[in-house]
Amino acid sequence: MKTTPAQKWWQTAVFYQIYPRSFADGNRDGIGDLAGMRSRLDYLKDLGIDALWLSPHYPSPMCDCGYDVSDYIGVAPEYGTLDEFKQFLDEAHQRSIRVILDLVLNHTSDQHAWFQESRSSLDNPKRDWYIWKKGKDGQPPNDWSSTFGGPAWEHDPLTDEYYYHFFFKSQPDLNWHNPQVREAMWNVVRFWFRLGVDGFRLDAVGTIFEDERWRDNKLPYTVDDMHAFSKAAHTPAEQRQVHRKWMKLFEKQVDLPGVHPLMQELRRVVDEFNDRVLVGETEDISFYGSGDDELHLSFNFPLMHTRLITPAWVRANQAARLAALPPDAWPCNTLGNHDSSRMISSFGDGEHDRELAEVNLAMLLFIKGTPFLYNGEEIGMTDYLISDINQIRDPLSNHIYNLEIKSGTDSQEAALIAARHGRDICRTPLQWKNAPNGGFCPEGVTPWLPVNPNYAQGINVEQQLADPSSLLQAYRLLLGVRKQNPALQAGEYQPVLTGSRSVLAFTRTAPGQTCLVAINYTPKNRTVRVPELNRVSRVILASKTGGHPSTGGKLVLQPYEVWVGELSGA
């Protein structure tokens, strides 16, 4: 890989998120595992992936799909063993693929040994490892809500106190004011780094601290009311009002100032090791810190907050994001993950989904910043609504289903609403071939989540590898173009054609190379006229035409074409 000397590996890398339970079943039990992931490393290498992010692989009762960790230095038995993890990590590194893990700092599982000790008595040495409060007049300590519904407090009869949980009641929040908690978690970080792990994606960074005065919200609505509000919000103005209500509901529970010194403390632990990276699940750019002393990367989630991606949307997002970043910060962009609708379902138009997926990928790979892809998007996997409530695995969906039933919704409709607003839709098993269960697991084995039946319609890896015109081949091509051109990895971004509603155009400039990128977001031919075209010395990519711009600075782009040229005089 060509890089400029100042670039870190995580600035030039393309990351690929693996949802372990759904990626590849190696032991034929219907659940993805380390053996399955290891068997697909060559596929990922050939795709052009530089780094993997694994969603939680730790032991867990799976009350929140692995984000309820019961042992931070182990491997879930259904995924394999610690030795198998080491083998997977070693084989990834042999292919020059880095690996980062999910780190859940805010809470543990209620089955974690720490919490079992904490709840055992009022004077247990680990009592203060979690947040315990006495109730008020037989009620919880305050009126705070859990983000997943219901109160944020759970009464524990054994000691007649309440513990706090921002998420499900099976996920008690750790008390990060306790230095013993900090040291225990920092030792978890050191454990995985000593094993050779390359970094962490930090889950729900902003939820770690709460208002220390524990004041009531005194609001006339709860999280469960927000579900009804969201269903009734049809216009953008109504949706913005719902968002404001949501933010108000959690202003005493999220993004409190104490998170910044904690991230600085974590960064000092990380810097004990060479060449590691911290990625935050937060769109708050303040978590980069000042002088590069907190996170290395923070997701540009606002890029995803639209129904249809357009050139104007991308330009506005980049202008705002890049201007707001601290001087030493590096951007980080994504269009999908395990908590959101799949990219093709989110941003397709129902008619040109394949074409839009390709141009959106080109945008993501070629704008400034580290791109994160989500497993399965490279073959155009789509959301899958599971209509049978008995097959739904997401506890959030089950909670929504119960709310709908209480409100009088028919059970079949309630199941569809629950599926639509849950997270199973984007977590179905990866579709490897046109075979029973999409080749994820053998015929006769029941996968942990139903496989989307559209695997039989060409949405599978095996068929797309054999098809030169497939989306998978477009991914491989575009990833290769990025990897071979330093300006597309590390260059400064400058928008071009700033008034165009049809074409996204920009330059990327690095020492020794400047590239011009032009992406036609429409189903019609579009003519691009910019002075930069007179400086084109080489056409790097022309996905439809293979053409060179004419004299006079004019280029005709075919529908949904991605064009990249190298400029002279860089």
What are the catalytic residues? 203, 281
Enter the tokens of residue 200: 């962490």
Indicate the pairing of strand 492-496 with strand 503-510: antiparallel
* Cα 398 from Cα 523, distance rounded (Å): 41
Q: Minimal CA–CA distance to 425: which of 390, 457, 460, 449?
A: 449
3-state secondary structure of 516: strand
Question: Roughly what angle, to the nearest 10 degrees, separates helices 179-195 and 82-94?
Answer: 50
- Could you tell me which residues are beta bridge partners of residue 168? none
Token digits for 38?
């290891």
How far apart CA 400 and CA 168 sit, in angstroms, is 13
Rounded Cα gap, residues 347 and 308, in angstroms? 5
Structure tokens at 254: 């999220």
* Distance from C-alpha of 79 to C-alpha of 330, rounded to nearest angstrom: 33
Backbone angles phi, psi at 527, to 5 degrees: -100, 125
The contacts of residue 323 (CB under 8 Å, 6+ apart) are none
Query: Three-state DSSP class for 29?
Result: coil
Q: Quickly tell me which residue has 């208002």 as its tokens.
A: 211
User: Tokens 């099976």 sit at which residue?
Assistant: 170
- Phi, psi (rounded to 5 degrees) for 10: -75, -10
Given a contact cutoff of 8 angstroms between Cβ atoms, the answer to whether 147 and 107 are in contact is no
Q: Residue 107: beta bridge partners?
A: 173
